[in-house]
Chain A
Amino acid sequence: MFRQWFKLIALLIALVPWPAHALLTIEITGGSEAALPIAIVPFGVEGYAPPENISDIVSNDLASSGRFAPLEKRDLISEPHEGQQVNFQDWRLLRSEGLLIGKISSQDGENYQVQFQLYDVYKAEQLVGKRYNVPASGLRNLAHQISDIVYETLTGEKGVFSTRLAFVSEMKNADGSKRFALQVSDADGANPRTVLQSTQPILSPNWSPDGQQLTYVTFENNKAEVYVQQLSSGRRNSVASFRGLNSAPAWSPDGKKLALTLSKNGNPEIYVLELASGNLSRVTHNSQAIDTEAVWLPNGREILFTSDRGGRPQIYRVNADGGRAERVTFEGSYNASADISPDGRNMAMVHAVNGKFHIAIQDLQTGAVQVLTETTADESPSFAPNGRMILYATEQQGRGVLAAVSVDGRIKQRLGESGSAVREPAWSPFRQ
């Protein structure tokens, strides 16, 4: 087991040239023994050298998922770039089940033609092959798309490599004051771009179902208020700035409503805001308790939320049009920050054991709870859109970092970076 783990790390170090512009990088801190061996041959280059190394990005993507074990480069017997150059017997000897080859060419250094072919080595047949024309700036995205195609072809599940992450960074100025940025990066942490910067904290980013907008909480007016921001234009609107708290926004599955926490009537309660009309309807009615952190079930009819109405924070379920709330969590004295898997079957949450905060998953049918993490200051779980991984915030030597864990707890990733503390992650939906 340890040897495999060591091998995986060695292999990652050998294979993955971490791009200098990446804010976040992925490390595997635990591996899956069932990882599928795959040979990824460095793509052939004709004409101008491309600014991105596509085969390295694909290899990094697939390895980081924990479901693939790319062969080490030095073990590659030959370097075919086209189908007729492939000798399947060679690759069978290496016990590689999949083989990815391709080439990239450019006459002007601006536009690139990229093609790839994925083979089943044992059947000696092509599974998929495609050709693209992209500008230099589109090469990295294309590499992630190729990773998605390889992942889906070989596992039968959609890949999440071309999705995005939103998160909040905290940076210290020279005078000790802080500044905060809401950032969006590729799913591998590369290409972080700042979509909002403020001298005040930013909280709880949440994606619209179409992936075009973010809602979040800012303190820029010295109190918690909810904004909605269009990512392409940067245009944003304050959607809730009532007296008291305006917080914890969560987009409904149809994209038309936000569930959110307002304390305008004196106590934090869950409300539903219809975005087009501005109509507000109150969902919870418990004037003694904190009700917050609403999240929608995929059916769009029910909401889970955190409440301390039983004395300590636990997760409850309520109809989005109101009514009686029923308790969902019973294990442990602290359960909060629920997120729902895309199929609606599982709930991720922050679950305290002996005062340590871990990420746990609960089967919503059976109620069975499994603690997934050993880290102890975990916050803000967010499911990947294919439901495979859970992204969350934790601490490393007192500094905020992002990490991810597979829903079975076997694969653990850490997205390290330098300079700033990061937290409040939200995994985007699939690109549409």
Chain B
Amino acid sequence: MKLFKLFAIILPLFALAACSSSPDKGMQEGDVLVEDRGAESAGVDGQGADGEDMGAEAKVVVGEDQYAGNELNDPDSPLSNRTVYFEYDSDVVRNEDQQTLQAHAAYLAENPNLTVRLEGHTDERGSREYNLALGERRALSVRRILMLQGASIDQFQVTSFGEERPAEEGGDEYAWSQNRRVELVYVGR
């Protein structure tokens, strides 16, 4: 345990050192680089808690399913569709996505050991902070439907990235329609 703690503090320090020497390279998902002057104190002055968090979270690969169940990978299964889309400023799941969610709800009910992360997203229009909240509302709307159809509340993690992680770059209707979405990301338990 002690050793782990030590590593949790030292590893981020290495990451920080690597980043400050070549800020353009070597940044890993979840890494954070504080200004040079601060890098030292960020590691040394009682920031162990942050360091541990960073170390722990660096393992999570965002946007990729960690659980590789066969049904999920079968392109003919409705489970292979893991994104649902929304109208502007709306959290209402559209009729054409109901079937997809039914399949996921049934799958989750059959596999109570599975957890899914619901990631809400919005298009770029309007306030970033409002969009962050809207993305969460969309994810919660998807969770509500999945729970109504048999999944249990402890099978979900809900998170929102607002407009910060667009699926499609660009400022046109098509890009916006692709970005107003909730992604279902299966994670193991």
Once A196-B32, A220-B32 are accepted as A-B contacts, the answer to whether A293 and B160 lie under 8 Å apart by CB is no
Q: How far is the CA of A236 from the CA of B16 in the complex (A)?
A: 14
| Residues of chain A whose beta carbon lies under 8 Å from any beta carbon of chain B | 173, 179, 193-201, 203-204, 218-224, 229-230, 232-238, 244-245, 247-248, 261, 263, 266, 268, 290, 292-293, 306, 308, 312-313, 334, 336-337, 350, 352, 355, 357, 377, 379-380, 395, 398, 424
Q: How far is the CA of A138 from the CA of B158 in the complex (A)?
A: 49
Whose C-beta in chain A lies nearest to the C-beta of B63?
A222
Q: Least Cβ distance of B50 to chain A in Å?
A: 6
A195-B38, A229-B38, A234-B34 known, 13 other contacts, Cβ within 8 Å: A198-B33, A200-B29, A201-B164, A201-B165, A222-B60, A223-B159, A233-B38, A236-B38, A292-B129, A293-B130, A350-B126, A355-B125, A357-B125
- B73 part of interface (Cβ distance < 8 Å): no
Beta-carbon contact of B19 and A197 below 8 Å:
yes
Query: Which residues of B sit under 8 angstroms from A268, Cβ to Cβ?
Result: 133, 136
The 3 A-B pairs with the shortest beta carbon distances in the complex, nearest first, are A234-B38, A197-B33, A201-B164
Q: How far is the CA of A379 from the CA of B33 in the complex (A)?
A: 26
- B180 part of interface (Cβ distance < 8 Å): no
Query: Which residues of B sit under 8 angstroms from A222, Cβ to Cβ?
Result: 30, 57, 60, 62, 159
| Count of chain B residues with a beta carbon within 8 Å of a chain A beta carbon | 51
Query: Which residues of B sit under 8 angstroms from A290, Cβ to Cβ?
Result: 130, 133-134, 137
Query: Which residues of A sit under 8 angstroms from B50, Cβ to Cβ?
Result: 236-238
Query: Which residues of B sit under 8 angstroms from A232, Cβ to Cβ?
Result: 37
Q: Least Cβ distance of A185 to chain B in Å?
A: 13
Query: Which residues of B sit under 8 angstroms from A377, Cβ to Cβ?
Result: 124-125, 171
- B23 part of interface (Cβ distance < 8 Å): yes
Query: Which residues of A sit under 8 angstroms from B28, Cβ to Cβ?
Result: 199
- B99 part of interface (Cβ distance < 8 Å): no
Q: List 26 A-B contacts (CB under 8 A).
A: A195-B35, A195-B38, A197-B27, A197-B33, A199-B27, A200-B29, A201-B164, A203-B128, A204-B128, A220-B32, A220-B57, A224-B160, A233-B41, A234-B34, A234-B35, A234-B36, A236-B42, A237-B50, A245-B136, A248-B132, A266-B140, A292-B129, A336-B127, A336-B130, A337-B129, A350-B126
Query: Which residues of A sit under 8 angstroms from B11, Cβ to Cβ?
Result: none
Chain A interface, >50% SS class: strand
Q: How far is the CA of A92 from the CA of B110 in the complex (A)?
A: 89
Beta-carbon contact of B35 and A194 below 8 Å:
yes
Query: Which residues of A sit under 8 angstroms from B160, Cβ to Cβ?
Result: 224, 245
Query: Which residues of B sit under 8 angstroms from A203, Cβ to Cβ?
Result: 128-129, 132, 162, 164
Q: How far is the CA of A291 from the CA of B115 in the complex (A)?
A: 29
Q: Least Cβ distance of A187 to chain B in Å?
A: 19
Query: Which one of B23, B41, B128, B136 lies within 8 Å of A235 (CB-CB)?
Result: B41
Q: How far is the CA of A261 from the CA of B40 in the complex (A)?
A: 31
Beta-carbon contact of B30 and A234 below 8 Å:
no
Q: How far is the CA of A268 from the CA of B50 in the complex (A)?
A: 25
Q: How far is the CA of A352 from the CA of B127 in the complex (A)?
A: 11
Beta-carbon contact of B38 and A179 below 8 Å:
no
Query: Which one of B29, B35, B129, B161 lies within 8 Å of A248 (CB-CB)?
Result: B129
**Which residues of chain B from 75 to 106 have a CB within 8 Å of any chain A CB?**
89
Beta-carbon contact of A234 and B39 below 8 Å:
yes
Beta-carbon contact of A263 and B126 below 8 Å:
no
Q: How far is the CA of A150 from the CA of B100 in the complex (A)?
A: 66
Whose C-beta in chain A lies nearest to the C-beta of B31?
A199
- B71 part of interface (Cβ distance < 8 Å): no
Q: Least Cβ distance of A170 to chain B in Å?
A: 10
Q: Least Cβ distance of B140 to chain A in Å?
A: 8
Whose C-beta in chain B lies nearest to the C-beta of A307?
B130
Query: Which residues of B sit under 8 angstroms from A236, Cβ to Cβ?
Result: 34, 38, 42, 47, 50
Q: How far is the CA of A204 from the CA of B47 in the complex (A)?
A: 23
Beta-carbon contact of A218 and B130 below 8 Å:
no
Q: Least Cβ distance of B12 to chain A in Å?
A: 11
Q: How far is the CA of A353 from the CA of B137 in the complex (A)?
A: 25
Q: How far is the CA of A70 from the CA of B19 in the complex (A)?
A: 44
Q: Least Cβ distance of B27 to chain A in Å?
A: 5
